[in-house]
Structure 1
Amino acid sequence: MDITKRFHRIIAIYFQLQARSVVKAQDLAARFDVSLRTIYRDMRALEQAGIPIYGEAGSGYSLTEGYKLPPTSFTKEEILSIAASEKLMQKFVDPDLFRHFCAAINKIRAYLRYSDKDNITQLEDNLVMGNSAFMFNENVPDALSILFESLSLKKVAAITYRAVHRDEPNQRLIEPVGIFHEGNYWYFVAYCHLRSDYRHFRIDRIQQIKRTETPFTKTHKPLSHYLEKRTSTPTTRVRIRVEKEFARYLQWDRLHYGFISEERKEDDIYMTFQARNIENEFARWYLMFADHAHIIEPEELKSHVRKIVSAFHL
């Protein structure tokens, strides 16, 4: 059993080496939940099998330039995941990036047996994803592609961006740090030359985008650093009581508003949040289901809700 497990791990390490220019031993150890010493032994096993690996313990490993094995066979589960991933990409990325993805997938399909191709077609014909056009500005179909390109090449991007609090868009030069999906939208973190600081942007608010040939002016930390910094912003503890029969409809949205935990009591669900913006964001979300819920705390949130309601002109 241990021999089989090690064999599969060594094969997986090889594919990691094929997929990346440099692979760190620490990352492999974390990925496979083994010690560094185990990874070093696995690397020696690959070298003894004739795989030309360049690198050393403590730094990074890579395959000698130009070395590749012939295409491998795919399992049934891997074959079906190709079809599923294509449908997911169609839903969650912009049209330009999806076009590039399809071109890559078609190259993989060229190596498949006819029976595997039939299995993919069968799944594709019976897998439907809902429309997600609201994630992107339809006039900017290549926003994700250009952001990825700008990030990988470390070249400044020029965007026309309409912030939520502005009626008119403005011009910005940015250095993209990373891209992430949250709630129903794509966001990215970038160093903004206009503000001389790091900012979060929403991709569907980009009106125009173009990659320049200007190199980055700064060395940026990993995306996780800026996301952790964002989560450290002050929050307010919120507790609400929601009717049990209605609470299920909030399971997905509540994660975007700082949901922490829930407790069931008789016919109600008591939910606890650490909300970043109770004055507008949380209060307006709460109004969407206020007839099925009650605010327990804080009183400040009740005041914000009443203020919004009093401004309605019916």
Structure 2
Amino acid sequence: MASANDIKRLTRLSAILLQLQTKRVVSSGDLAEKFNVSVRTIYRDIRVLEQIGVPIASSEGKGYSLAEGYKIPPIMFSEEEASALITAGQLLRLNKDSSLISAFEQAVNKVKAVLNYTAKEKLELLSTRVAVSPVHIEPATSSSLALIQNALTSFTLLRIRYQAEGKGDTERLIEPFAFYYSGQQQWALIAFCRLRNDFRMFRLDRISEVYPMEIKFAPHQLSLQQYLEEKEKNFLSSDKQLS
């Protein structure tokens, strides 16, 4: 019979595999911190995974990654995890972008496909017992979030038509950088605008047209946290000048 330590190690090995599957590179230090073990223990775990046939590539000074082209069999979802997705899917209807709802529903269908019959029946029951008041559901005001997300992660330019507040339509060439939720179910796209030669926030409901461009741009070294801190600093500075 497996000991508690054996079970704990098997659980950790599975979790390390999940980290390798979901991230491009994972460092031994990050893994050690995440699982509260020593770096030496992580080295031993990686060797065990290699011995059972998992092709792990190591890069000195960077970390570990799965060999290009290697696929881990689909991960089985627990009933609790699948149920959380069903509930989240209902809450997602409060957002104002139709493409996000569609993509999420497709993802949930894929989750259902790997569940056993009993879990599927429970999930179908749950989906009929969770609802959001129609009073709070507003018509979708955008349908481009999924397209913009793809451009953001692929570092490709977008050409958009934008209705600025109190101004007419303008055509912009932008480099998508990040998304920002400003409240009132309102999402904004932070992007470097080549027309203004600076970062700008574009409300998704004011982007009337989006055209993907097959032109790459260099990833910005600025992090989202740095951008937000700088924006807050500028706001406080201007507020002091007004007072």
Smaller-chain TM-score bracket = 0.7 to 0.9
Residues 100-158 of structure 1 deviation map (CA, whole Å, 9 limit, x = unaligned): 23223222212211211111111111111354436x52xx41x2112111112211111
**Partner amino acid for 2:97?**
D
What's the CA shift for 1:5? Answer: 4.0
Residues 236-292 of structure 1 deviation map (CA, whole Å, 9 limit, x = unaligned): 9xxxxxxxxxxxxxxxxxxxxxxxxxxxxxxxxxxxxxxx879xxxxxxxxxxxxxx
Residues 8-54 of structure 1 deviation map (CA, whole Å, 9 limit, x = unaligned): 23211211212233334444345445554443343233223332111
Q: Distance in 2 between matches of 1:25 and 1:231?
A: 35
- The reply on whether 1:66 has 2:69 as its aligned counterpart is yes
Relative to the length of structure 1, the TM-score reads: 0.65
Bigger relative contact order, structure 1 or 2 (CA pairs below 8 A, ≥6 apart): 2
Kindly tell me: are residues 38 and 223 of structure 1, through their superposed partners in 2, closer, same or farther at Cα, counting changes over 3 Å?
Answer: farther
- 2:77/2:111 contact within 8 Å kept: no
What's the CA shift for 1:220? Answer: 4.1
- Mapping of 1:81-92 within 5 angstroms? 81-92=84-95
**Partner amino acid for 1:9?**
R
Match of 1:55 in 2: 58
Which segment drifts farther, 210-219 or 186-195? 210-219
Match of 1:39 in 2: 42
- Mapping of 1:224-239 within 5 angstroms? 224-235=225-236
Q: Distance in 2 between matches of 1:9 and 1:93?
A: 39
What is the aligned residue count?
235
Q: Distance in 1 between matches of 2:8 and 2:74?
A: 22
What's the CA shift for 1:190? Answer: 0.8
Match of 1:103 among 103, 106, 109: 106
Kindly tell me: are residues 99 and 225 of structure 1, through their superposed partners in 2, closer, same or farther at Cα, counting changes over 3 Å?
Answer: same
**Partner amino acid for 2:179?**
I
- 1:109/1:117 contact within 8 Å kept: yes
Match of 1:133 among 134, 138, 162: 138
- 2:86/2:108 contact within 8 Å kept: no
Percent of aligned pairs sharing the same letter: 36
Kindly tell me: are residues 32 and 94 of structure 1, through their superposed partners in 2, closer, same or farther at Cα, counting changes over 3 Å?
Answer: farther
Q: Distance in 1 between matches of 2:201 and 2:45?
A: 41
Name structure 2 gaps, 5 residues minimum: none
- Aligned partner of residue 93 in structure 2, secondary structure: helix
Match of 1:177 in 2: 177
Kindly tell me: are residues 110 and 43 of structure 1, through their superposed partners in 2, closer, same or farther at Cα, counting changes over 3 Å?
Answer: same
- The reply on whether 1:117 has 2:120 as its aligned counterpart is yes
- Aligned partner of residue 126 in structure 2, secondary structure: helix
Name structure 1 gaps, 5 residues minimum: 237-275, 279-299, 301-314
Match of 1:80 among 68, 80, 83: 83
Kindly tell me: are residues 119 and 159 of structure 1, through their superposed partners in 2, closer, same or farther at Cα, counting changes over 3 Å?
Answer: same
- Aligned partner of residue 100 in structure 2, secondary structure: helix
- Mapping of 1:256-275 within 5 angstroms? none
Larger Rg: 1
